[in-house]
Amino acid sequence: MPNGMETSGVVFGKFLYTFGGYDPFLHQSFDTIQRYDFEKNVWEKIGHLTKSISATDVCVYKNLIFLVGSYDYEGLIQSYNPLTQEIKEIESNMKPRKHSAAGIFQNRYLVVFGSAIKSDNAGISSQVVDLQQYFK
């Protein structure tokens, strides 16, 4: 990576994408979208998020990358389309989370579990969102 930081990434196609991140020495989070090209062995900044995020988890569903939670925006869920570079914020009633884990189950459900949030026992809970409701 061009800068040393905590970040979350996911492989989509022939690239590794990273979103935001946190530099513990500068005490700063970032809004950058970066990708690593495996074939060319090159990193490039390709865009910006709507907010600076860190402590976020990411996963791929169809042609979208989902970003779940953030240190400062715990209820945040966004989708990012790597083909169009469009970012959408998704409304949800999911519990606020940061430092959680997310994944796609049965090519349909966004499953989110764990957290560093102490309120509402979010850290010991899991939640499921049927993503097909957003793509009818």
Number of domains in the chain: 1
Give all strands of the β-sheet with 86-89 in edge-to-edge order: 57-61, 64-68, 77-81, 86-89
**At a CB cut-off of 8 Å and minimum separation 6, what does 119 contact?**
none
Query: What type of residue is 112?
Result: V
- Three-state secondary structure call for residue 72: coil
Where residue 14 sits, what CATH number does that domain have? Answer: 2.120.10.80
The answer to whether position 124 is within a domain reads yes
Do the domain assignments include residue 72?
Answer: yes
Residue 134 is predicted with a pLDDT of 72
The structure's pTM equals: 0.85
Ramachandran class of 118: left when φ > 0, alpha when ψ lies in -120 to 50, beta otherwise: alpha
Residue 1 has pLDDT above 80, yes or no: no
Range of the domain at 118: 6-134
pLDDT 10s digits, 47-98? 999 999 998 999 999 999 999 988 888 888 899 999 999 999 888 777 777 7
Q: For residue range 87-135, what is the model confidence (pLDDT) as tens digits? A: 998 887 777 777 778 888 888 888 888 776 656 554 557 788 888 877 7
